[in-house]
Amino acid sequence: MRIVILGAGFGGLDVASRLSAEFGAAAEVVLIDQAEGFVFGFSKLDVMFGRATAEHVLHRYADMANPGITFVQSTISAIDPVAKRVSTGEGPFDADILVIALGADVNPRVTPGLVEGGHEFYSVAGANAAAEAIGNFAGGRVVIGVTSTPFKCPPAPSETALLMHEFLRTRGLLDVSHVALAMPFSAPIPPSPDASAAVLAAFADRGIAWHPSAAVRGLDTGRRVAQLSDGTELPYDLFLGVPVHEAPRVVVEAGMTVDGWIPVDPLTLRTRYPDVYAIGDVTSVGTPKAGVFAEGQAAVVASSIAARLRGLTDDASYDGRGICYIEFGDDTLAKVDVTFLSGRVPTGVLVGPSRQLVADKNAFGAQRAARWFGTQWQPTTQ
């Protein structure tokens, strides 16, 4: 039985590695991704603020040695979810079980002025370019802005504001600088009032301006102002933007999306197509678009596939739980344990912020690098 997994992010890597660990070379898993390697979302911030190099945070798929997994680096040009056939630059692949884990694409071009006058930091290339802009920044008005919802890793804009403040302070630029954050949410981290309160307290302590319920609709590059959805404007010298997120075009063209994303059973991650699953950011499962939630969904799908391979029934179901780390700067972190269950109000419990949680987050990254790539790795080089 051939399992074809599209996308080698958190979800795709975890499904593949779990099947490899259970079945070894007896597994027939094809993992397809157009990128040369994987980068943790939090590693983009490490690169942006000089705590790691782009090379250090890149985990190359060619280095994978998990038995039973064949990695194919190629662009996916078409998906037939009925026939479970995938067309790629390396030819077609037919599957007995198909797992769609292609994530969400970012599209900065749909926001006027963002490409010309700002920096998106949600793609690997964008984060690398933002790192250069931040490193060369001589001070002034910094605006971090979210252009639309949903977007990956909801705490990331707040983390960026706090880390930017720390960067300016260490460079001696605070006297001539100011940091502002505009988001379409009424709170920085809506599922956790305690986490939002901690972030807002940190903003107040550092003088970071908070503009809630306001998305960035465009940049006027001539006047160097960000235009917000509430009708106000924020002048900037450096703009760091969260771009519009959308499902990959190949998924839309396959007719798999409804209201922009792939609908799935929230407990089993099955799509309306037999033997086709979808996990992670590409779905409308109802959890935030973050790797840790894709990983939780991957565990359910891997369990279901493993049971199928063994001729057993499986009752695993997705519990909607995930743990997110939040950078506060000055080597302090908080951790939010949040659960999203269908039909219920999301709940989140805050731990920290504290310096002790730095080791906890480093272990989180190191453990997954070991499981997926068989490497010993530490997230930062500082």
pLDDT of residue 343: 61
What percentage of the chain carries pLDDT values higher than 90? Answer: 91
Please tell me the distance from the alpha carbon of residue 153 to that of residue 122, in angstroms, as a whole number: 10
Taking 3-state DSSP, the helix, strand and coil percentages for the chain, each rounded to the nearest 5, stand at 30, 30, 40
Q: Which residues contact 4 (CB under 8 A, 6 or more apart)?
A: 29, 30, 32, 84, 86, 93, 94, 95, 97, 98, 99
Across the chain, mean pLDDT equals 95
Q: Is the pLDDT of residue 317 over 80?
A: yes
CA angle 318, 375, 367 (to 5 degrees): 35
Tell me: the pLDDT tens digits for 27-53?
Answer: 899 999 999 999 999 999 999 999 999
For residues 110-115, average pLDDT: 98
Q: The pTM is what?
A: 0.95
Confidence label for 279 from pLDDT (cuts 50, 70 and 90): very high
Residue pointed to by tokens 């344990």: 337
Domains of the chain, first to last: 2-104+247-310 (3.50.50.60), 107-245 (3.50.50.60)
Tell me: the pLDDT tens digits for 327-379?
Answer: 999 999 999 998 886 566 777 789 999 999 999 999 999 999 999 999 999 99
Long-range pairs for 51-59: beta carbons < 8 A, 24 or more residues apart: 51/380, 51/381, 51/382, 52/379, 52/380, 52/381, 52/382, 53/381, 54/124, 54/128, 54/131, 56/381, 57/379, 59/369, 59/372, 59/373, 59/375, 59/377
Long-range pairs for 41-44: beta carbons < 8 A, 24 or more residues apart: 41/152, 41/153, 41/156, 41/290, 41/291, 42/325, 42/327, 42/361, 42/365, 42/379, 43/365, 43/379, 44/121, 44/122, 44/124, 44/127
DSSP secondary structure of 233-259: EEE-SEEEEE-EEE--HHHHHTT--BT
The three-state DSSP-derived secondary structure of 317-354 is CCCCEEEEEEEEECCEEEEEEEECCCCCCCEEEEEEEE
**Cis omega before residue 353 (within 30°)?**
yes
For residues 177-182, average pLDDT: 98
Q: Which residues contact 55 (CB under 8 A, 6 or more apart)?
A: none
Q: Is the pLDDT of residue 293 over 90?
A: yes
pLDDT of residue 382: 73
pLDDT of residue 216: 98
pLDDT of residue 65: 83
